Amino acid sequence: MRLSLHCVGGFTGPAGAQTRNVDVDSLPAAEGARVRSLVQALDLAQLPATLLKARPQPWDFTYTLTVDGHQVRFHADAAPAPLRELVEILEQHPPG
């Protein structure tokens, strides 16, 4: 399973955009199991394509998560807990 997390916004705007690509099979076993569990809990096929705040602030980041062809665009404050936790895990990996 491959995950891609694109993040843009905040005060840096498009100039500070970052993308993190993670191959779950290459992660340590415990981390890979946690990521798979979070993705399963999200049920991406049933999740709306966008989960954005009604009134985003200039410092809010917009994330786009892609998992095996399923994509969701969201603000962390509008996302369910498993999605926020997944972002925290993926942000620990270097962009690129």
Instruction: Quick: pLDDT tens for 43-66.
Output: 988 999 999 999 988 888 999 999
Asked if residue 95 belongs to a domain, the reply is no
Q: Is the pLDDT of residue 73 over 70?
A: yes
Rounded to whole angstroms, how far apart are CA atoms 7 and 57? 15
Q: Which residue has the tokens 């665009």?
A: 73
User: Whole-structure pTM over 0.95, yes or no?
Assistant: no
- Of 20 and 57, the structure prediction assigns the larger pLDDT to 20
Asked if residue 12 belongs to a domain, the reply is yes
Domain span including residue 67? 2-90
Asked if residue 49 belongs to a domain, the reply is yes
Helix (H, G, I), strand (E, B) or coil at 63: strand
Tally of domains in the chain: 1
